[in-house]
Amino acid sequence: MNIVACLHAPPPDPDGTGLGRDDIHALAQALALAEATSGQVTALLAGTSHESGPLQRALVAGAARAVRLGGEDYASVDFHTLGQALASGIKRIGADLVVAGARSDDEGLGAVPASAARHLGFAYIGNVEELAAAGPRAIEVVVRGGGRKRRLRVDLPAVIAIVPATSGLPPASDRTGNPSEVELLTLNDPETTVVRRRTELLGKPEPASRGTEEVKAASELIAALTR
């Protein structure tokens, strides 16, 4: 099973683990599932070379690969853009399962995994506390919601947003380190690095263009947006 663990660059924290918010739990779950299925984990982060600390931490924890998605200043983009960029990188890498911390942005919106799932066309399950293999193309997840837990079978491919279990997880630092270097994956296609509102609101792809059109009425604007 090929598992991609999406990480994000947290604010500087000299005394922290180098991983942001729920990311350490997502990485630990991904590593445990990969070990149980003889699979491998690829850690993925969109950011600059100065923000690659979480990827190095993932290699130390036991990830088989660490890939940094370059090509844009992702610190200033919204979750739509970040989700689309991560989805483009995941398509290049190849994945059966994508895991991410539910609070995988600095605002704590938890929308990045859902955005990535949309652009990948994968099933999306949020508020997941535990993962387990349930066959060659399926996993079993424990989801918390409404004050109770539910156990669900999820067919792959899928994107899973991980939240910390109340019982806690073993720290990823207990695993064997990987001496590999962080790889760089650059997205050169402007359509995969810039998300426009028309694409997000209407779900229709818009070719990269700098052309403009003048409209003089609301009806003309609606007609232009829906063409």
CATH of the domain at 81: 3.40.50.620
Backbone region of residue 2 per phi and psi (left: phi > 0; alpha: psi in -120 to 50; beta: other values): beta
Give me the number of domains the chain comprises.
1
User: Is residue 129 in a domain?
Assistant: yes
DSSP-derived letter for residue 187 is: -
DSSP state letter for 71 = S
Which tens digit of pLDDT belongs to each residue from 99-149? 999 876 555 566 899 999 999 999 999 889 999 999 889 999 999 877 888
State how beta strands 2-7 and 40-46 pair: parallel
Q: Which domain holds residue 12?
A: 2-198
> 3-class DSSP state for residue 63?
coil
Tell me if 6 sits within 8 A of 44, measured CB to CB: yes
pLDDT in tens, 39-76: 999 999 998 888 888 999 999 999 999 999 986 678 77
Is 157 among the domain residues?
A: yes
Give this prediction's pTM. Answer: 0.76
Place of tokens 């009425």: 217
* Residue that is written with structure tokens 């109770």 in the block: 148
Give me the amino acid identity at 154.
Answer: V
